[in-house]
A and B are shown apart, each in its own frame.
Chain A
Amino acid sequence: MPWFFNTTLKKIKENKMKFINKILKFLPARILLLLISVSLIFHPNCSGSRIERISESPEQFNIMKSSENLPYIKLHMKNGDVYVLEKWEINSKKDSVKGIGKLFNPQRELIAENNYKLPMKEIVLAETNQIGASMGGALTAITVISGIVTVICLANPKACFGSCPTFYTFNGNDYIVQAEGFSSSILPSLEEKDIDALYRIKPNSRNFSIQLRNEAYETHIIRSANLLALQKSDEGRVFSTQDGKFLQATYLREPNSIIASEGDISEKLCSFDGIERFSVADSNNLAERETIEIDFQIKESKDVGIVIAARQTLLTTFLFYQTLSYLGSSAGEWLANVERSGTQFKSLLENPRSVLGNIDVLMQNKNGEWEKVGEVGETGPIATEIKIVPLNKNMYQASENSSAKVKLKMAKGLWRIDYLAIADIGNEVEPIIISPSSATPSSFYNSNVVESLINPDSVLITYPGNEYFLNYILPEDYNNYELFLESQGYYLEWMRNEWLGEENPDKVFQMLFNPQQYYKDLAPQFKKNEAEMEETFWSSKYVLP
């Protein structure tokens, strides 16, 4: 095993132990205090009861016949004998009771077993008992719930836990997830920059904070986490493009119609509000495409673009974890090969990614053929990313009508689209790069957090459960700027025992060299879990979109 991976594994192991120890350290102190309180609250003196015994003289005995809850009556006689009767009934005059049962003497020896009809006046005391519900009800309920979680997580471990580095910002009420950093950078050699718009955030002072969290069984290596501030035009916004440009945009408007296979979906996509349009994956081919057709008004001969806010479904999460399962115990070896092989292996990794693809934006050329003019898409199911795709002016001017058409083409069941709009495009703008000025906590393992993020030769390393607040100072006229987060780094996924049972190198080769078939073969497996995946994923972690 190469040196790098050996040391990384060792570090992971060490830090996993540290993390577990941290949890264990937390548990006794707080949880045990809670348990002691609970134990005191439920001290034996505060006992409850399941047995309700009704014991009265015959004159006062008001129950007239047996029932499911009161199947037996015990009739105590003056001499100590006792009758135990079932299917019993007291007559309407209340002068006799009849039933089937047994007679015992005072020594409690069985004397006789018969149908009895006894005069009430011979009875000294009548007694019946009702048994309440078992205390095990609560445990049964919790067992069922806990069992469901266990079964889901064991049967479908690929749906549990996963996330990438997550960044939260304050929206006035709470910290909401705004970005997931470098989701496809799963190795040091795949380290890359990632730009996420902080579109829904309105800073209320120059001091701006971002909360950085590690919420999964992953080691996050973060080289930088800078804010990008971009000058907005009046009443406008700034959007990034897939190739990293920043464009001012104004006059954001709804298209005339947005037609998907299920009909007009304009209502779902009219605002950036968490109401998303998504479809289910194809049953036979996970790379099967679908099309959405957008019709929009052309008013003037301005440059326009289409604004799309979207995030991925859990399809890519499933595929990533499934691939790690196929790598199994040799995952380290495979990944080390990627590190060693330079660009050769990395280009192979592009194969499966390109077959699934992004959201392609197409326009009709003068021959009536649909031509790709741009794309949007970022790996990751957590944060919704908003981007703009400039449309080719020549193509929509060629249209004879006052409206133009655009098509979105994407893999079925891969994208959740939240918002779609048409905007007039203004100038391209350059960002002001703002590095963090301070952090809380300010250090990690004897290193300074801010220095680690500013110095390109050092990194901030986080482990599950780590949280940092990164503080930035915005320009004085901060309201005139659109903010983006630019993070750079990579992360290492921790292998889980559940993933070691499916090792299959042939499938890995198939993924790299014949991804089309790979996605066809995996379709039935994904479809089995697709319906519950989203719920399982979000219920197994704390972060919500």
Chain B
Amino acid sequence: MCYHNKLLYIIVVISALIFIGCATTYAPADWLPKTEDIPKNIYGGWITIITETNSLDSEDLGMQYSGEFIAEDSSTVFLLYDTLYQIPKNKIKSSILELDSKNATGYGLWTAGGIVSTISHGFFLIISAPVWLVTGIPTTILESSRDRYEAEYPDEIYWNEVKKFARFPQGVDGIDLSQLKPYNITPE
């Protein structure tokens, strides 16, 4: 294998390693607020719920619901996408709640750029490139996965922990849910 092919191979493997560990986001592009805007954000987080398969119906593979986390009560999770969805808690197989947009791609590219820049370090590259890698990979992975609440068969402890990130953390009693509007992404 020639030098350039090997270098390319290493860059691809390193890039893959950086991004394999990263958590996937389910929210539409630009839907989630920047972290710094969270304190004044008036919407709920983006929740993705996968329901259980119906054991009596072999063709039922379960459903995936994604949308703004509106509220939860003792038996139901309320989620707003094009309309309001009410999902029974006992049907939920997994739940993922995301609060803000992440800068993982930026950090990944930053790390890759840093690694490339060590070419200028000559022999010292043998030390500086791995330092970049052992700093950059964890930073990128941690960035992608922070402030993300994920659970299989979520229990009440989970819902108690995440309900403060709903649009209505106080619950939906006394609120006219029929008038709710989803958050529209407006171009900046």
Structural contact, A47 and B145, CB atoms closer than 8 A: yes
| Contact residue among A28, A38, A160 (Cβ-Cβ distance under 8 Å from B138) | A38
Structural contact, A125 and B39, CB atoms closer than 8 A: no
- Bound form: Cα–Cα A226–B121 in Å: 35
Neighbouring A residues of B103 by C-beta, 8 Å: 134-136
Structural contact, A47 and B124, CB atoms closer than 8 A: no
User: Is A119 interfacial (CB-CB < 8 Å)?
Assistant: no
Structural contact, A131 and B168, CB atoms closer than 8 A: no
- Bound form: Cα–Cα A55–B6 in Å: 53
Neighbouring B residues of A215 by C-beta, 8 Å: 123
Interface string of A51-93 (1 = CB under 8 A from B): 1010100000000000000111010101110101010000000
- Bound form: Cα–Cα A290–B148 in Å: 68
| Contact residue among B114, B123, B175 (Cβ-Cβ distance under 8 Å from A79) | B175
Structural contact, A149 and B141, CB atoms closer than 8 A: no
We find that the number of chain B residues with CB closer than 8 angstroms to chain A is 69
Neighbouring B residues of A43 by C-beta, 8 Å: 21, 141, 145
Structural contact, A32 and B17, CB atoms closer than 8 A: yes
| Contact residue among B14, B38, B172 (Cβ-Cβ distance under 8 Å from A129) | B38
Neighbouring B residues of A41 by C-beta, 8 Å: 138
| Contact residue among B117, B133, B147 (Cβ-Cβ distance under 8 Å from A47) | B147
Interface string of B160-188 (1 = CB under 8 A from A): 00001101111011111001110100000
- Bound form: Cα–Cα A143–B183 in Å: 38
Interface string of B136-149 (1 = CB under 8 A from A): 11110111111110
User: Is B79 interfacial (CB-CB < 8 Å)?
Assistant: no
| Contact residue among B10, B21, B110, B179 (Cβ-Cβ distance under 8 Å from A28) | B10
Closest to B21 in A: A39
Size band of the A side of the interface?
35 or more
Within 8 A of B (CB), among A116-153: 124-125, 127-131, 134-136, 138-139, 142-143, 146-147, 149-150, 153
Closest to B173 in A: A78
- Bound form: Cα–Cα A76–B43 in Å: 12
Structural contact, A44 and B21, CB atoms closer than 8 A: yes
Structural contact, B183 and A108, CB atoms closer than 8 A: yes
- Bound form: Cα–Cα A106–B68 in Å: 13
- Bound form: Cα–Cα A350–B173 in Å: 96
Known A17-B3, A51-B100; contact A142-B132, beta-carbon cutoff 8 A: yes
Structural contact, A150 and B121, CB atoms closer than 8 A: yes
Structural contact, A50 and B132, CB atoms closer than 8 A: no
Neighbouring B residues of A45 by C-beta, 8 Å: 145, 150
Neighbouring B residues of A50 by C-beta, 8 Å: 35, 100, 146-147
Structural contact, B35 and A44, CB atoms closer than 8 A: no
- Bound form: Cα–Cα A129–B100 in Å: 13
Structural contact, A39 and B42, CB atoms closer than 8 A: no
User: Is A27 interfacial (CB-CB < 8 Å)?
Assistant: yes
- Bound form: Cα–Cα A78–B114 in Å: 51
Closest to B175 in A: A80
Interface string of B94-114 (1 = CB under 8 A from A): 000001100100010011001
User: Is B28 interfacial (CB-CB < 8 Å)?
Assistant: no
Closest to A20 in B: B3
- Bound form: Cα–Cα A215–B123 in Å: 9
Known A106-B175, A139-B111; contact A47-B39, beta-carbon cutoff 8 A: no
Known A42-B141, A71-B39, A139-B135; contact A53-B183, beta-carbon cutoff 8 A: no
Neighbouring B residues of A130 by C-beta, 8 Å: 39
Closest chain-B Cβ to A280's Cβ sits at a distance in Å of: 26
Known A34-B130, A39-B20, A44-B21; contact A24-B10, beta-carbon cutoff 8 A: yes
Structural contact, B137 and A39, CB atoms closer than 8 A: yes
Closest to A84 in B: B40
What are 11 A-to-B residue pairs whose CB atoms are below 8 Å? A24-B7, A32-B13, A44-B22, A49-B147, A50-B147, A129-B38, A131-B39, A139-B114, A142-B114, A142-B136, A143-B114
The 10 closest A-B pairs by CB, nearest first: A44-B145, A55-B164, A80-B175, A47-B145, A129-B39, A44-B23, A124-B170, A72-B39, A42-B138, A39-B21
